[in-house]
Amino acid sequence: IYSVRTNTPVRKRNQRIKENKSDYTLIPEEVQFYNKTYVCTHHGDPLHNRSRGTRPQQSSRKIGCNAQINACVQETGNWEVRITKQISGHNHVVGSEAYQTYHEARVVSDDDVAATVNTLHRAGANRKRILEYITENTTVVP
């Protein structure tokens, strides 16, 4: 799973071009972002427990994975997104089985199913009954 670490909106990039009176071409506003950096969900230094209290260390995905993708728009007759840097080596297991352990993989994206779950919840159904209903009556795999 990759998440956006940094990005530069087109409006900000165009503002810098104007301020510096640069010869660079202004980017059309509909492009939205000039560049984005995506990093692995495990990017960053691991957390070290510094507490002396009674609360245990909270979990974190950070294990120092360096995988990242940098993308930037460039003009080549028309505006295209180009990958400017890619580090694809992960320091952890990747694959469909590992992906299924993340909560992002278990989110229901079907609006009808989400509405049904909300209705059942408001009616007082417990989690087990809601799960049974969804499994029996939809194609969603919870």
* Structure confidence at residue 99 (pLDDT): 82
Q: Judge contact between 35 and 27, C-beta under 8 A.
A: no
Spans of all domains in the chain: 2-93, 108-142
Give me the chain's average pLDDT, please.
87
Please check the confidence at residue 36 and state whether its pLDDT lies above 70. yes
Within 10 Å of residue 8's Cβ, how many Cβ atoms?
15
Q: What is the identity of the amino acid at 96?
A: S
Q: What's the length of the chain?
A: 142
| Residue-wise pLDDT tens digits, 78-122 | 899 999 999 999 998 888 888 888 878 777 778 888 899 899 999
